């Protein structure tokens, strides 16, 4: 079964090829092809996960005949394979639940270009997950930036163009800072592959002079990636970009793209810098503080939104804060919580972004809360999926959100510092309370009907399987992460051991 070792490389090559193939296909053919090949990719990633779990060893694969320090390399461990499977599931669900909007939001002649962008995005997500090399990470990060920008502007309305311009400027700033950090690290260590770089850094970190340079370059790199993933105070591009783009883009950008940057950041900390060196740097504490502030500020801003998509987008900012809090806590428990939350949030947020347009559709195509009154009664399946996702966001037991909040609290206990524990518990409490306020308010609004406006005539009776099926998958995954969280947490802990 050693052929499975080749699969990570093949997923990247196949996705790049699919990008250029969709460029020459017609719109509809491109959609069918995209779904077909994404299912293949999902199965392939599933095989990789199964192979690594059974053999218990990470797969290191050199890209070409030249071994580690000279040629490129990719590496697949449990964590990467698990995230790849999750990313593919969400990708498929987003395309399935959103293609109707892609057909209406986009001009007919540009639908195939959108799918080409999606496939390139998949390629870069896969490459960022598998890569074992800092510069490959940067190259595919660039592709990810460009393609996500393109997936915003496809709607061609003023607001998305404006949002895309802002998104691009901030993301390019982030890429630039990341490149600067990589350059400094390369100048210092002479390596771009993460493992030899870590060995060299471990030697150099003894020298206080060089440790200072290491801290500054890691800091610059961290700022770059946190701008791109939307950590407080760099989260203000989120509401416009997520709120007005076509639902598939919003779902993929919020649940996969911004998470991929965080995964790359953790990979840099773990594999390129070395976790023992990184723990000595002050960056960790800064990330903890910014994460905690982001959790509260994001939720407060979400309360002030008068548009449901903007509210969900601001809540994304808060959730990114959670993940950075996990990184800031550090230790196995902290990173486990961060990775678990990456998964839980990806599953939940994609569900919310794919649901809101369905609610708007039965409310005069308006996303304003005013118009959304009793919309869940008019479109029952959309209302129900919003209910599940909202309960998970608040952190009701049984759902994924609860398990991840529990993990954060445990990480706080295991951090061994009273101050950190108190800060984490208070932040979790405040953020959950605020989440509950605005999500329960929204639920009441969409489920209540004070003016008796719901009649048989305006209830949507046409059930589209293309929506129910992906929502069922996402909801089931949400419940699975909530009820059987130990399975996933066990896998994450095993994966973290291979990650370093």
Helix (H, G, I), strand (E, B) or coil at 484: coil
Contact mark string toward another protein, 429..458, x via CB under 8 A: --------xx--xx--x----xx-x-----
CB of 476 to another protein, least distance (A): 30
Which of residues 89 and 256 has its CB atom nearest to another protein in the complex? Answer: 256
CB of 117 to another protein, least distance (A): 6
CB of 181 to another protein, least distance (A): 10
Nearest CA among 20, 22, 74 for reference residue 48: 74
CB of 306 to another protein, least distance (A): 5
Which of residues 38 and 301 has its CB atom nearest to another protein in the complex? Answer: 301
Which of residues 117 and 489 has its CB atom nearest to another protein in the complex? Answer: 117
Contact mark string toward another protein, 300..319, x via CB under 8 A: ---xxxx-------------
For 449-465, the DSSP string reads -TT----TTTS-----H
CB of 392 to another protein, least distance (A): 21
Burial 13-52 (b: 16+ CB within 10 A, else e): ebbbebbebbeebebeebbebbeebbeebbebbbbbbebb
112-171 residues in contact with another protein (CB under 8 A) are 113-114, 116-117, 120, 123-124, 127, 133, 135-136, 139-140, 142-143, 146-147, 149-150, 153-154, 156, 161
Task: Name the burial class of residue 422, with classes exposed (0-12), middle (13-18) and buried (19+) by CB atoms within 10 angstroms of its CB.
Answer: exposed
CB of 273 to another protein, least distance (A): 16
Helix (H, G, I), strand (E, B) or coil at 75: strand
Backbone φ and ψ for 60, nearest 5 degrees, come out as -105, 130
Among 39, 40, 216, 487, binds another protein (CB under 8 A): 216
Work out whether 226 is an interface residue with another protein (CB under 8 A): no
Which of residues 302 and 400 has its CB atom nearest to another protein in the complex? Answer: 302
Which of residues 335 and 369 has its CB atom nearest to another protein in the complex? Answer: 369
Which of residues 50 and 61 has its CB atom nearest to another protein in the complex? Answer: 61
Helix (H, G, I), strand (E, B) or coil at 64: coil
**Distance of alpha carbon 248 from the chain centroid:** 14
Structure tokens given for 187: 């100048």
Number of residues in contact with another protein under rule CB under 8 A: 84
Angle formed by the axes of helices 331-361 and 78-105, to 10°? 20
CB of 41 to another protein, least distance (A): 15
Work out whether 49 is an interface residue with another protein (CB under 8 A): no
Nearest CA among 185, 271, 231 for reference residue 498: 271
CB of 26 to another protein, least distance (A): 12
Work out whether 176 is an interface residue with another protein (CB under 8 A): no
CB of 322 to another protein, least distance (A): 23
Contact mark string toward another protein, 72..111, x via CB under 8 A: x-x--------------------------------xxxx-
SS3 content of the chain, % helix, strand, coil (to 5): 80, 5, 15
Work out whether 57 is an interface residue with another protein (CB under 8 A): no
Q: How far apart are CA 8 and CA 214, in angstroms?
A: 31
Which of residues 14 and 86 has its CB atom nearest to another protein in the complex? Answer: 14
CB of 464 to another protein, least distance (A): 25
CA dihedral 10, 343, 125, 194 (to 10 degrees): -90
Among 4, 28, 69, 332, binds another protein (CB under 8 A): 69
Q: How far apart are CA 332 and CA 360, in angstroms?
A: 42
For 129-162, the DSSP string reads HHB-BHHHHHHHHHHHHHHHHHHHHTT-SHHHHH
DSSP state of 273: I
Which of residues 189 and 403 has its CB atom nearest to another protein in the complex? Answer: 189
CA dihedral 467, 374, 477, 148 (to 10 degrees): 60
Contact mark string toward another protein, 312..351, x via CB under 8 A: ----------------------------------------
Q: How far apart are CA 188 and CA 455, in angstroms?
A: 70
Among 29, 62, 436, 497, binds another protein (CB under 8 A): 62
Which of residues 185 and 474 has its CB atom nearest to another protein in the complex? Answer: 185
Stretch that binds another protein, among 3-11, 278-286, 381-389, 407-415 (CB under 8 A): 3-11
DSSP state of 3: G
DSSP state of 307: B
């Amino acid at each position: 079964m050693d052929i499975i070792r080749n699969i990570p490389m093949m997923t990247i090559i196949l996705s790049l090829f699919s990008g250029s193939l969709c460029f020459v296909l017609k719109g509809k053919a491109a959609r069918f092809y995209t779904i077909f090949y994404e299912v293949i990719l999902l199965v392939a990633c599933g095989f990789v996960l199964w192979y690594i779990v059974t053999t218990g060893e990470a797969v290191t694969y050199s890209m070409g005949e030249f071994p580690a320090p000279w040629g490129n390399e990719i590496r697949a461990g449990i964590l990467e394979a698990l995230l790849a499977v999750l990313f593919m599931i969400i990708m498929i669900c987003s395309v399935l639940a959103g293609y109707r909007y892609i057909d209406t939001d986009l001009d007919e002649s540009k639908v195939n270009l959108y799918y080409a962008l999606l496939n390139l995005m998949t390629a870069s997500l896969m490459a960022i997950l598998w890569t074992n090399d800092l510069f490959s990470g940067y190259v595919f990060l660039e592709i990810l930036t460009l393609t996500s920008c393109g997936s915003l502007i496809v709607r061609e309305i003023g607001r998305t163009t404006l949002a895309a311009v802002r998104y691009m400027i901030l993301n390019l700033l982030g890429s630039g800072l990341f490149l600067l950090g990589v350059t400094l690290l390369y100048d210092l260590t002479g390596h771009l592959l993460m493992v030899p770089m870590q060995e060299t850094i471990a030697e150099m970190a003894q020298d206080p002079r060089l440790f200072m340079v290491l801290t500054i370059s890691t800091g610059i790199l961290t700022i770059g990636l946190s701008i791109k993933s939307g950590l407080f105070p760099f989260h203000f591009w989120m509401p416009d970009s997520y709120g007005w783009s076509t639902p598939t883009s919003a779902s993929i950008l919020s649940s996969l793209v911004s998470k991929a940057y965080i995964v790359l950041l953790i990979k840099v900390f773990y594999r390129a810098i070395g976790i023992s060196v990184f723990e000595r740097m002050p960056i960790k504490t800064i990330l903890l503080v910014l994460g905690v502030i982001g959790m509260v500020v994001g939720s407060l801003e979400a309360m002030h939104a008068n548009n449901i998509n903007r509210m969900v987008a601001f809540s994304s900012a808060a959730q990114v804060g959670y993940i950075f809090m996990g990184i800031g806590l550090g230790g196995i428990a902290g990173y486990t919580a961060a990775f678990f939350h990456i998964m839980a949030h990806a599953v939940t947020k994609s569900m919310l972004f794919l649901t809101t347009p369905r609610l708007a559709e039965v409310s005069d195509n308006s996303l304003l809360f005013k118009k959304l009154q009793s919309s869940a009664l008019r479109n029952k399946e959309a209302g129900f999926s919003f209910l599940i996702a909202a309960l998970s966001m608040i952190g009701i037991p049984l759902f994924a959100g609860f398990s991840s909040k529990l993990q954060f609290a445990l990480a706080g206990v295991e951090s061994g510092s009273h101050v950190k524990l108190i800060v984490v518990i208070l932040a979790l409490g405040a953020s959950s309370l605020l989440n509950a306020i605005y999500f329960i308010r929204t639920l009441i609004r969409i489920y209540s009907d004070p003016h008796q406006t719901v009649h048989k005539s305006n209830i949507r009776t046409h059930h589209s399987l293309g929506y129910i099926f992906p929502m069922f998958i996402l909801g089931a995954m949400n419940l699975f992460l909530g009820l059987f969280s130990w399975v996933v947490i066990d896998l994450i802990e095993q994966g973290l051991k291979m990650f370093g």
